[in-house]
Structure 1
């Protein structure tokens, strides 16, 4: 049934329809949402008794523009008709309830982008939500996106990397919550009265990932005087090619969270654990994507080689120097990869120049993946706290812990009468500080990293006034 729907969409020209962002109703919708967002509290409600609160008349007028614009734009997107009807109903119910805490469960349940993965297909998405790595508040947001689902990726998903919920997507335009570092559209971020039994989709913006990867990598290569092979230099300069690499990387990474020898909930949503456990999980998924990319390259897929160097450069150059140092598990994973390659003589920092042994890099990177997988495989036979210490030992084998760390001193330094979740309080905010190399690199790349906020394939877009 889904394949028939996809073919109907392609044959009917839905993916090539008028761009939503070129329709006069889009700026009306966008500006109305931007007007509403500052009126909202952290939980998404509007407090009419607060100082400086808007009048009910002003809010009603803005909401009328939102619902009217959605209804005007919806005919451009017949595949989203049921979602848009439910969305307008949720918006009106919110207004009728006095703009209390918003609830978009009904419209969330009506939105099924993974059921119709056709390359170039547009979606108009409006929800009250927070944006991961972006805005922490559940503000109203509007985003127009396109599906990225080329035939070669569809074939790989069908034959090698089953991931029916994954959506590769790109930005067309967005409101302020996405003028941030957020590169995902996940259903769990949406304001609902109760969590659904299961989520049916998850989207990652490969254009933003590719654009910031290119910006940071180009700057790092220049600072570190790294000589790239010709094909990798060409990849880094090609936005479309990088997007293809990232959508493949993301698809394999995403499915890996539920594949392999997993001694615990793979997403660790309901567990309180030391942040290096999250860092190892994310790195495991990335290195699994790397290993699969090596296999794909051997099988004649050019995207396989691109994924390998996207993983290496993003992990080594961008992740460790991006974000705050408080429980930065992605940064930890990047530091660990660099240290592992350096201590195995794949990466050398000599005469203020970074050199990489391109021939040995794939083998040694997969070797780290194997070490993490061995840790996981043994974890099923360990109590939780013992497993956490085993993971700490793996990380500290290559990265120096903070000299004030209690965990580095071993079990005797901790109050083991407490439950494991309480011992997480003894983890330092920055348990594995940056090395001198990364402290210097962070200063060199600080402005470039900051400039990637809100970036898309076209660069940092100008924002319209609300």
Structure 2
């Protein structure tokens, strides 16, 4: 990634190459935030009557140190001037109000990083928030990041994959909520008094994604004795090359949630659906990125082939084995991809060695994408419950359901007088258990996967 050395910033000011995390105010801010975090309740408030809670005077003094540090750092980031002013105001408003449930809507609305995407640009972000796949509580977090927006990616977004809200980003440093498996920065996770009319950005940390992909893939390849083509072996060994693959994959994946022949509401967070519906939607978006990568490779794009194997290996080796087995929809998608390729003889597990038909892999992977797309197209004409059963049939064609499943027994086993959202209660937490192959592989890779918690490009080196 090429860093900006000197950047003119609309509205006045110069962004220099000085790193925020090298400034003496950054450790002051980070320490203050880390002191505040354990005082907070799940909703982000501070209960001064709770055991171990500080006095209000102590909390106010600690928060003021954080606010003062932000003001010291702000001149390094003039493009964030309006946000940092609103942020300091929101912090002090929280203190003045007695540290009740925090409301950072004003600073959220002032933070507009997608309006000026520039490769290498730094941002200092502080919000009370939960971190997806990380900390479930709305704690105060501080993170310094850089934008990944090289010209080749900007050109693809401009001409082909319009996604004006997407941010490719990398970590510089972070507080404890990001010392986790979280690889996203989403505005939906931030504590606010009311949701804004629309969100204007969403960030994905391609450095964390690339680093854990490399570590897990290397271990899986060695364990399974998989022979890789030379160019793919080189890609897996190259952090920067993998980051480019992931930022392109993420950009195409992200836009796909609103593109295609979609049922009316394919993936709403607030809607209650069986978890295989979320699994199919996430897999559809990944396989769309794969399909586009095949086209890009044919056109001579140097990143197209890398994206294909990032999707294949991350989906097949890491996703099924990451997280717990309770409604793990990403894990389900990874299991389905592997099983589909195995059923169609693209992958073979013979003599304790995994073999892949590299020539047929793109064609057959695109075939699975087409089956999911046809499910969606037909879903437009189906009632919700019928669509859910059709999706279940697709998944269970390749993955064996749990023997105790009521859904596997068909509609006659369910109380169809209940509304569809109530029938979700009949879905088992692990409706599609791991195959024997993945159970064995999990024992070999669980420590490696656990070691990727909090990983960055620097810690992976």
TM interval, short-chain normalised: over 0.9
Correspondence for 1:411 = 411
Following superposition, the deviation at residue 266 of structure 1 comes to 3.5
- How far apart, CA to CA, are the structure 2 residues paired with 1:368 and 1:383? 23
- How far apart, CA to CA, are the structure 1 residues paired with 2:198 and 2:27? 34
Correspondence for 2:298 = 298
Following superposition, the deviation at residue 460 of structure 1 comes to 6.0
Query: Cα deviations across residues 76-114 of structure 1 (Å, max 9, x unaligned)?
Result: 000000000000000010000000000000000000000
Query: Cα deviations across residues 35-64 of structure 1 (Å, max 9, x unaligned)?
Result: 000000000000001122101121111111
> Is 2:211–2:460's contact at 8 Å kept on the other side of the alignment?
no
- How far apart, CA to CA, are the structure 1 residues paired with 2:284 and 2:14? 38
Correspondence for 1:381 = 381
Q: Secondary structure at the match of 1:172?
A: strand
Correspondence for 2:394 = 394
> Is 2:7–2:14's contact at 8 Å kept on the other side of the alignment?
no
Following superposition, the deviation at residue 447 of structure 1 comes to 0.4
> Is 2:44–2:137's contact at 8 Å kept on the other side of the alignment?
yes
Q: Secondary structure at the match of 1:447?
A: helix
Alignment of 1:47-66 (within 5 A): 47-66=47-66
Query: Cα deviations across residues 419-465 of structure 1 (Å, max 9, x unaligned)?
Result: 0000000000000000000000001000000000000001269xxxx
Q: Secondary structure at the match of 2:444?
A: helix
Correspondence for 1:324 = 324
Following superposition, the deviation at residue 14 of structure 1 comes to 5.5
Q: Secondary structure at the match of 1:100?
A: coil
Distance 1:14 1:131, change over 3 A: farther
Distance 1:265 1:294, change over 3 A: same
TM-score after normalising by structure 1: 0.96
- How far apart, CA to CA, are the structure 2 residues paired with 1:410 and 1:265? 24
- How far apart, CA to CA, are the structure 1 residues paired with 2:191 and 2:285? 28
- How far apart, CA to CA, are the structure 1 residues paired with 2:78 and 2:316? 43
- How far apart, CA to CA, are the structure 2 residues paired with 1:388 and 1:268? 15
Correspondence for 2:179 = 179
Question: Higher mean Cα deviation, 351-360 or 54-63?
Answer: 54-63
Correspondence for 1:464 = none
Correspondence for 2:267 = 267
> Is 1:286–1:311's contact at 8 Å kept on the other side of the alignment?
yes
> Is 2:129–2:139's contact at 8 Å kept on the other side of the alignment?
yes
Correspondence for 2:353 = 353
- Runs of at least 5 residues in structure 1 that lack an aligned partner in the other structure: 1-5, 462-466
Q: Report how many aligned residue pairs link the two structures.
A: 455
Correspondence for 2:3 = none
Correspondence for 2:447 = 447
- How far apart, CA to CA, are the structure 2 residues paired with 1:13 and 1:57? 36
- How far apart, CA to CA, are the structure 2 residues paired with 1:272 and 1:198? 22
Query: Cα deviations across residues 195-252 of structure 1 (Å, max 9, x unaligned)?
Result: 0000000000000000000000000000000000000000000000000000000000
Q: Secondary structure at the match of 2:303?
A: helix
Alignment of 1:141-152 (within 5 A): 141-152=141-152
Following superposition, the deviation at residue 16 of structure 1 comes to 4.8
Correspondence for 1:435 = 435
Correspondence for 1:253 = 253
Q: Secondary structure at the match of 2:144?
A: strand
Query: Cα deviations across residues 175-211 of structure 1 (Å, max 9, x unaligned)?
Result: 0000000000000000000000000000000000000
* 2:258 equivalent to 1:230: no
- How far apart, CA to CA, are the structure 1 residues paired with 2:153 and 2:126? 27
Q: Secondary structure at the match of 1:277?
A: helix
> Is 2:235–2:242's contact at 8 Å kept on the other side of the alignment?
yes
- How far apart, CA to CA, are the structure 2 residues paired with 1:456 and 1:66? 25
TM-score after normalising by structure 2: 0.97
Query: Cα deviations across residues 296-329 of structure 1 (Å, max 9, x unaligned)?
Result: 1111111010000000000000000000000000
Correspondence for 1:202 = 202
Q: Secondary structure at the match of 2:107?
A: helix
> Is 1:454–1:460's contact at 8 Å kept on the other side of the alignment?
no
- How far apart, CA to CA, are the structure 2 residues paired with 1:210 and 1:324? 22
Correspondence for 1:343 = 343
* 2:113 equivalent to 1:125: no
Distance 1:294 1:25, change over 3 A: same
> Is 1:181–1:452's contact at 8 Å kept on the other side of the alignment?
yes
Question: Higher mean Cα deviation, 377-386 or 53-62?
Answer: 53-62
Q: Secondary structure at the match of 1:45?
A: coil
Q: Secondary structure at the match of 1:302?
A: coil
> Is 1:80–1:123's contact at 8 Å kept on the other side of the alignment?
yes
